[in-house]
C-alpha cells in the first residue's frame, strides 16, 4: 500500500466533506467585498461631483462678489482642471501598481482641504483652493473604474459602471440644490441685518452666501475618504470567492502587472511609463474615441459653466431659481439616460442648438441718452449702477438718472418720488415714482423659458445615453494592464483641451456682449451689469456650431 503524497493530503477527503454541526464555511471579511468598494466609490463620486457642481452654481455669485469679468471667473473654474492634470497621468500609471483604495481615500481628504477655505476676500484663494481640489480628485476615476473592472465579472462591469455613473449624478443634483439654497441667503448673513438689505435675490446686484456651501461639501468629502483606508488592495475575481485557488491565481495575475508586490520600486515603474503611453496612443480605436470625447467635452463644459448665467440673462431668472431648475429637471433625466445607456449601445445625439434659439425680447439700452433736460442738474455719476423700475416698465440706471428728488420707506420697501424723467400719462407730478430693482419681463418670457427647459431636458437625456458605452469601449479596446492609464489619459486630455480653455474663452465671448460694466471702488472695471441678450444668444449658437463642425 503506497503512502499518501503531499498532493493527496491537499485534496478534500470524504470525512472533510461531512456535515459537522457548528462548523461554518470560511468567509472573506465583509469589507473585502467588491460591492462594498462600489458603495464607497459611489459616495466618493457623489461627494466630488457635489463639490464641483456647487462651484459652477456659484459662478455668478463669485463674479459679483469680487467684481470680476466672466473670463476671469472661467479661469477660476478651470483651475480645478489645472490642478488635476498636473498629477493625473502619473497617478494613473503609478497608482495601478499601488494600493488603489487608499490612494482614492487620500484624494478625498485633499479635495476636502481644497474646499474648506473659500471665505477669503481675495479671489486668488478661491483659485488656489479649486486647484487643490483638482489635485485630490486625480486618483478617484482612473483607479476606481480599473479596480472594479479587474475584480468584477466581465458581464457585470457595464452594470456596475452604469450604476456608479447614475449615482454620481445625484452629486450634481444636490450640488445645484445646495447652490440654490445658498443663493437665497445674503452674502453677509450673520454680519448685517436682513432688514437693512434693499435688494432681492431677483436683483442683478444680489450676491448670495456662496462661501457657505463649500464648508458643507468639505465635510462630506472627509466622510467619503474614510472607508477606503479599510479596503484591501486586491480582491478575488467575482464568482471565484469560494475557490481556494482563486487568491493564488489572482496573486499570479497581479505579479504579472505588479513586479514586486511587497516592495514596489518607483524607478522600475517609471521605466515603463513612456512605452505604455506609446502603446496606448497607437491604438486606433482609443485615439479616435479620445478625439471625439474632447470635442464634445469642450462645448459641454463651456455651456454648463455658464448655463445658470444664461438663464438669468436671457429669461430674467434669479440665480437661486436657475440652479434649482438645473438640479431638479435636467440632471435627473441625465441620470436615467446614463442608466439606459447600458442597454442602448447606439448613441443618437441631438444637437442642442435649437434650445438656444428660444429667446425673450431684448431690453432696449441707450447709454448715450442718459443725460437729458430732466436730470442735467442732478450731477449723476455715469459709473453708478442702482437700477430702479417705473410703473411703465422702464428700468433706469439709478434714482438720480430718473430725476428723483425724494424717497419714502426703507430697505426693500423704499419708493422714490418726484422723478422728473419718468413718463406717465398722469399730469400730476407726484405720481412719478420708481421702486428699487430692474423691471420684470413680460408673460412672453415665461412661455419661452418653458419651451427652452423642455428642449434642454430632452437634449440632455439623449446625449447622456452614450456615457456608459463610451467607458466600456475604452476599457475593452486596450490591454488590461493599461486600463488605469487609459482612463487617466482620457481624463487628462479632456480636461487639458476642454476643461481649462472652454470656461475661459466662453467667458471672454460672454464679456464681448456686455452693455454696461460696473466700476470697482479702486476705479478699475468690475463685473458686467447688463448684457446684449441677442448677441449673447448668438455667441452660444456659434460655439455649438463650431464644435459640431470640428
User: Which tens digits make up the pLDDT trace of 222-244?
Assistant: 888 888 888 777 777 766 655 54
Q: Is the pLDDT of residue 407 over 60?
A: yes
The CATH class given to the 30-258+265-356+444-549 domain equals mainly alpha
Q: Choose from 242-246, 492-496, 540-544 the range with maximum mean pLDDT.
A: 492-496
- pLDDT tens digit string along 465-488? 777 677 677 777 778 777 777 877
Global pTM value: 0.69
Round the CA-based radius of gyration of the chain to a whole number and report it.
29
Collapsed DSSP state (helix, strand, coil) of residue 153: coil
Among 12-16, 46-50, 333-337, the range scoring the smallest mean pLDDT is: 12-16
CA dist 167 and 310 (Å) reads: 27
- Of the chain, the percentage scoring pLDDT greater than 70 comes to 72
What pLDDT is recorded for position 178?
92
Q: Is the pLDDT of residue 320 over 70?
A: yes
Question: What is the DSSP secondary structure assignment for residue 526, as one 8-state letter?
Answer: E
Dig out the grid coordinates for 309 from the structure.
Answer: 448665467
What pLDDT is recorded for position 528?
83
Among 24-33, 270-279, 291-300, the range scoring the smallest mean pLDDT is: 24-33
SS (H, E, C) 163-223: HHHHHHCHHHHHHHHHHHHHHHCECCECCECHHHCCCCCCCCCCCECCCHHHHHHHHHHHH
Q: Is the pLDDT of residue 264 over 60?
A: no
What pLDDT is recorded for position 295?
78
Q: Is the pLDDT of residue 382 over 60?
A: yes
What pLDDT is recorded for position 355?
41
Q: Is the pLDDT of residue 400 over 80?
A: yes
What pLDDT is recorded for position 465?
76
What pLDDT is recorded for position 333?
84
One-character DSSP codes across 253-271: HHHHHSS-SSS--HHHHHH
Residues of the chain with CATH 1.20.1250.20: 30-258+265-356+444-549
For 484-495, b where at least 16 C-beta lie within 10 A, e where not — what string? bbbbbbbbbbbb
Q: Is the pLDDT of residue 418 over 60?
A: yes
H or E segment to which residue 416 belongs? strand 415-417
Angle in degrees, CA 447, 451, 456, rounded to 5: 145
Place of cell 467635452: 297
Residue 114 pLDDT class (50, 70, 90 cuts): low
Collapsed DSSP state (helix, strand, coil) of residue 68: coil
Collapsed DSSP state (helix, strand, coil) of residue 159: helix
The mean pLDDT of the chain is: 74
- Percentages helix, strand, coil for the chain (3-state, rounded to 5) are 60, 5, 35
More confident: 71 or 370: 71
- Cα 169 to Cα 213, 399, 418: the distances in Å are 18, 45, 53
What pLDDT is recorded for position 77?
84
More confident: 107 or 121: 107
Strand segments (E) across 245-332: none
Dig out the grid coordinates for 201 from the structure.
Answer: 435675490
Whether 176 contacts 323, CB under 8 Å = yes
Q: Name, in order, each residue with C-beta under 8 angstroms of 171's C-beta and a sequence gap of 6 or more.
A: 45, 46, 47, 48, 49, 50, 51, 52, 53
- pLDDT tens digit string along 165-195? 778 778 888 999 999 998 888 888 877 777 7
More confident: 88 or 132: 132
Residues 415-437 have a mean pLDDT of 73
- pLDDT tens digit string along 58-75? 888 888 888 888 888 888
CA dist 407 and 426 (Å) reads: 20
Q: Choose from 241-250, 428-437, 535-544 the range with maximum mean pLDDT.
A: 535-544
Q: Is the pLDDT of residue 26 over 70?
A: no
More confident: 248 or 372: 372
Amino acid at each position: 500500500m503506497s503512502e499518501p503524497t503531499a498532493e493527496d493530503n491537499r485534496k478534500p477527503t470524504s470525512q472533510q466533506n461531512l456535515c459537522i454541526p457548528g462548523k461554518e464555511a470560511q468567509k472573506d471579511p465583509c469589507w473585502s467585498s467588491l460591492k462594498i468598494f462600489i458603495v464607497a466609490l459611489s459616495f466618493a463620486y457623489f461627494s466630488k461631483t457635489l463639490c464641483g457642481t456647487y462651484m459652477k452654481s456659484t459662478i455668478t455669485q463669485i463674479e459679483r462678489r469680487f467684481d470680476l469679468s466672466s473670463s476671469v471667473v472661467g479661469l477660476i473654474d478651470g483651475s480645478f482642471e489645472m490642478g488635476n492634470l498636473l498629477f493625473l497621468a502619473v497617478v494613473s500609471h503609478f497608482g495601478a501598481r499601488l494600493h488603489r483604495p487608499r490612494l482614492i481615500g487620500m484624494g478625498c481628504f485633499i479635495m476636502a482641504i481644497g474646499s474648506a477655505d473659500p471665505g477669503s476676500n481675495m479671489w486668488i484663494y478661491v483659485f488656489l483652493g479649486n486647484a487643490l481640489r483638482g489635485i485630490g480628485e486625480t486618483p478617484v476615476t482612473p483607479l476606481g473604474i480599473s479596480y472594479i473592472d479587474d475584480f468584477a465579472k466581465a458581464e457585470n462591469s457595464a452594470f456596475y459602471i452604469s450604476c456608479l455613473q447614475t449615482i454620481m449624478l445625484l452629486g450634481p443634483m444636490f450640488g445645484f440644490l445646495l447652490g440654490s439654497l445658498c443663493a437665497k441667503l445674503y452674502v453677509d448673513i450673520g454680519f448685517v441685518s436682513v432688514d437693512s438689505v434693499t435688494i432681492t435675490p431677483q436683483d442683478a446686484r444680489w450676491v448670495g452666501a456662496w462661501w457657505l456651501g463649500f464648508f458643507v461639501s468639505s465635510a462630506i468629502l472627509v466622510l467619503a475618504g474614510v472607508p477606503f483606508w479599510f479596503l484591501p488592495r486586491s480582491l478575488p475575481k467575482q464568482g471565484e470567492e469560494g475557490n481556494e485557488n482563486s487568491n493564488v491565481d489572482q496573486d499570479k495575475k497581479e505579479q504579472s502587472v505588479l513586479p514586486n508586490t511587497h516592495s514596489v520600486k518607483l524607478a522600475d515603474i517609471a521605466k515603463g511609463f513612456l512605452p505604455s503611453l506609446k502603446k496606448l496612443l497607437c491604438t486606433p480605436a482609443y485615439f479616435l474615441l479620445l478625439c471625439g470625447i474632447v470635442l464634445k467635452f469642450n462645448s459641454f463644459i463651456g455651456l454648463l459653466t455658464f448655463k445658470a448665467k444664461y438663464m438669468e440673462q436671457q429669461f430674467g431668472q434669479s440665480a437661486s431659481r436657475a440652479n434649482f431648475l438645473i438640479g431638479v429637471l435636467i440632471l435627473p433625466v441625465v441620470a436615467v439616460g446614463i442608466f439606459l445607456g447600458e442597454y442602448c449601445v447606439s448613441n443618437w445625439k441631438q444637437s442642442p442648438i435649437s434650445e438656444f434659439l428660444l429667446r425673450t425680447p431684448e431690453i432696449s439700452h441707450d447709454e448715450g441718452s442718459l443725460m437729458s433736460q430732466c436730470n442735467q442738474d442732478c450731477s449723476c455719476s455715469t459709473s453708478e449702477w442702482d437700477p430702479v423700475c417705473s410703473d411703465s416698465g422702464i428700468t433706469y440706471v439709478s434714482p438720480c438718472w430718473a430725476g428723483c428728488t425724494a424717497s419714502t420707506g426703507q430697505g426693500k420697501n423704499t419708493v422714490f418720488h418726484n422723478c422728473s424723467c419718468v413718463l406717465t400719462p398722469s399730469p400730476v407730478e407726484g405720481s412719478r415714482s420708481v421702486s428699487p430693482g430692474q423691471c420684470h419681463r413680460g408673460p412672453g418670457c415665461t412661455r419661452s423659458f418653458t419651451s427652452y427647459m423642455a428642449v434642454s431636458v430632452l437634449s440632455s437625456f439623449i446625449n447622456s445615453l452614450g456615457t456608459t458605452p463610451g467607458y466600456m469601449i475604452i476599457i475593452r479596446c486596450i490591454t488590461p494592464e493599461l486600463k488605469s492609464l487609459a482612463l487617466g489619459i482620457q481624463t487628462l486630455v479632456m480636461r487639458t483641451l476642454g476643461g481649462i480653455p472652454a470656461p475661459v474663452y466662453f467667458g471672454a465671448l460672454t464679456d464681448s456682449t456686455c452693455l454696461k460694466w460696473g466700476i470697482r471702488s479702486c476705479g478699475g472695471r468690475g463685473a458686467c451689469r447688463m448684457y446684449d441678450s441677442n448677441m449673447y444668444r448668438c455667441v452660444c449658437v456659434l460655439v455649438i456650431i463650431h464644435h459640431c463642425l470640428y
